């Protein structure tokens, strides 16, 4: 049978991994797909690199638009990244009737609605397993494996860089800046790590999962995003004393009031499996009404783990290449005319538990003043630590964990507590999820 011909845009880390794995496992992949899948043309600005990776086994060009217009190409694999030229290329490929595979979470989170609408109109598929959590097949699980379920919530460690940093801060008691430099030296963090450490990368991935889980459009602009750059090692230590680990989580929940879509450092009970995911690994916890909680764990980045997801998409498209477009798996799991634009809640309306650390003067009556304010806002305390001041010190830390409460009530309480003359500096507030 005639092979499916693939045009590859970008032969960097993931592109190179895709070419290598597809070549190495060609026979096995063909057995599963029902016909051979081959990369016939590669576009990259660095033709010398492309020549080294491919060994001259396919055509090379530095013009990506030539690939998306090539009549011999059946599927375009976009591994360039970013919002700009990648969007133009994907839309042009769709316009030319070609299926698309992409690992570009930023592109889909921001422009996915437009891209999926164009693909639907043209009757082609856009597959994006590699866009979320690297080699973990979480998109397929949400779109197909859990299709009988009403998804209730998702909580994921979906950025390996930040998980590595938090693991090192906890294990070694080091400051954030020190561990970030080490992460950059080891290649876990980019020279400009902003997208990772400020939670933007995780929010792109969470936006995609939320859309699939709840049948809503992509709404990245409504996500609440808070990174780990301001996290203090002392809070990781206090959390440990209270039986919790701090992870940068992407959390999306369906509530009676709307959908929560938020990324932030989160305290998780240390006994939870996801709390023990260390280093640069990823994990996604999904709660369905029928199946309960399911956990997906593995490498969230890297050449061959991500290539594994890219090639899985190529196999899916090859299998469905000749299928009636109306009977393919929908891009966002629900039929396009069944998507609903549920309200995404602002962070002030989110209900969760809280970790509060406040520096106070070591005087009688301080705790009574603080608890009175919390009671006025209907905030109940679940656990507390009061650090004994060192000899000669006039200040100490009070750490409290609260029961679940709406964030705007915590905001009001913090403003009042910070106004007390016995409270020094700003209160550190972190959110807490039991994930039970």
What gap in Å lies between CA 250 and CA 149, rounded to an integer? 20
Domain 4-135+303-338 superfamily per CATH? NAD(P)-binding Rossmann-like Domain (3.40.50.720)
Q: Which two tokens stand for residue 275?
A: 């709390």
Alpha-helical (H) ranges within 173-302 are 176-186, 194-197, 200-214, 233-241
> Which residue, chain included where needed, has tokens 């970790």?
355
Q: Residues 409-416: what's their mean pLDDT?
A: 98
39 has pLDDT over 80 = yes
164 has pLDDT over 80 = yes
Q: Residues 148-176: what's their mean pLDDT?
A: 96
pLDDT band at 321 (very low <50, low <70, confident <90, very high): confident
Q: Which of these, 334, 327, 184, 209, lies nearest to 260 by C-alpha position?
A: 209
pTM for the whole structure: 0.95
Contact 285, 293 (CB under 8 A): yes
pLDDT band at 334 (very low <50, low <70, confident <90, very high): confident
Adjacent-strand bridge partners of 60? 42
CATH topology of domain 351-432: Alpha-Beta Plaits (3.30.70)
The three-state secondary structure class of 221 is: helix
Phi-psi region of 154 (alpha: psi -120 to 50; beta: other; left: phi over 0): beta
Taking 3-state DSSP, the helix, strand and coil percentages for the chain, each rounded to the nearest 5, stand at 40, 25, 30
- Using alpha carbons, list the distances in angstroms from residue 281 to 93, 163, 164, 325: 33, 7, 8, 36
Q: Residues 359-364: what's their mean pLDDT?
A: 91
% of residues, the chain, pLDDT over 90: 88
Q: Which of these, 104, 106, 98, 27, lies nearest to 67 by C-alpha position?
A: 98
What is the rounded average pLDDT for all residues in the chain?
95
Q: Residues 254-273: what's their mean pLDDT?
A: 97
Q: Residues 231-250: what's their mean pLDDT?
A: 97
Q: Residues 224-239: what's their mean pLDDT?
A: 96
> Which residue, chain included where needed, has tokens 């591994």?
79
pLDDT band at 111 (very low <50, low <70, confident <90, very high): very high
pLDDT at 326: 75
pLDDT band at 391 (very low <50, low <70, confident <90, very high): confident
Long-range Cβ pairs for the range 190-194 (8 Å, 24+): 190/161, 193/161
pLDDT at 156: 98
Q: So what CATH class is 138-299?
A: alpha beta
Q: Which two tokens stand for residue 396?
A: 């100490």
Domain ranges in the chain? 4-135+303-338, 138-299, 351-432
Give the CB-side neighbour count of residue 243, counting CA atoms within 13 A.
10
Active site residues: 205
Q: Residues 340-345: what's their mean pLDDT?
A: 92
> Which residue, chain included where needed, has tokens 């009757």?
123
Phi-psi region of 363 (alpha: psi -120 to 50; beta: other; left: phi over 0): beta
Q: Residues 99-126: what's their mean pLDDT?
A: 96
% of residues, the chain, pLDDT over 70: 100
Q: DSSP code of 74?
A: S
What gap in Å lies between CA 385 and CA 194, rounded to an integer? 33
């Amino acid at each position: 049978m005639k092979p499916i011909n693939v045009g590859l845009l970008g032969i960097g880390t993931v592109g190179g991994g895709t070419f290598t794995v597809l070549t190495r496992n060609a026979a096995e992949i063909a057995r599963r797909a029902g016909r051979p899948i081959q990369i016939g043309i590669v576009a990259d600005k660095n033709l010398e690199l492309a020549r080294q990776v491919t060994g001259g086994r396919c055509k090379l060009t530095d013009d990506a638009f030539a690939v998306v217009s090539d009549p011999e190409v059946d599927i375009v694999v976009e591994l360039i990244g970013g919002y700009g030229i990648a969007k133009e290329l994907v839309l042009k490929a769709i316009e030319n009737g070609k299926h698309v595979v992409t690992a570009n979470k930023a592109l889909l989170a921001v422009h996915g609605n437009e891209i999926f609408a164009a693909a639907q109109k043209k009757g082609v598929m856009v597959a994006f397993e590699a866009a979320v959590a690297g080699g973990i097949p979480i998109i397929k699980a949400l779109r197909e494996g859990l299709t009988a379920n009403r998804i209730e919530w998702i909580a994921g460690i979906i950025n390996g860089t930040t998980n590595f940093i938090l693991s090192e801060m906890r294990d070694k008691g080091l400051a954030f800046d020190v561990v970030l430099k080490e992460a950059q030296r080891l290649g876990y963090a980019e020279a400009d790590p902003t997208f990772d450490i400020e939670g933007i990368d995780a929010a792109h991935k969470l936006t995609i999962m939320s859309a699939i889980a709840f049948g809503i459009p992509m709404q990245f602009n409504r996500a609440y995003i808070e990174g780990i750059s301001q996290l203090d090692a002392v809070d990781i230590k206090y959390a440990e004393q209270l039986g919790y680990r701090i992870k940068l989580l992407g959390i999306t929940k369906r509530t009676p009031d709307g959908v929560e879509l938020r990324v932030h450092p989160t305290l998780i009970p240390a006994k939870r499996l996801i709390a023990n995911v260390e280093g640069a690994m990823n994990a996604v916890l999904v709660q369905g009404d029928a199946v309960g909680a399911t956990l997906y764990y593995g490498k969230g980045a890297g050449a061959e783990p991500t290539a594994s997801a890219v090639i899985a998409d190529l196999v899916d498209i090859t299998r469905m290449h000749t299928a009636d477009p109306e009977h393919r798996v929908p891009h966002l799991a629900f039929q396009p005319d069944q998507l609903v634009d549920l309200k995404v809640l602002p962070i002030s309306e989110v209900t969760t538990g809280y970790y509060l650390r406040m520096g106070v003067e070591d005087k009688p009556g301080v705790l009574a003043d603080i608890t009175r304010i919390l009671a006025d806002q209907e905030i109940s305390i679940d656990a507390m630590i009061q650090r004994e001041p060192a000899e000669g010190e006039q200040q100490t830390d009070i750490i409290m964990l609260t029961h679940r409460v709406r964030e705007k009530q915590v905001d009001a309480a913090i403003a009042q507590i910070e106004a007390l003359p016995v409270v020094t500096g700003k209160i550190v507030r972190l959110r807490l999820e039991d994930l039970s």
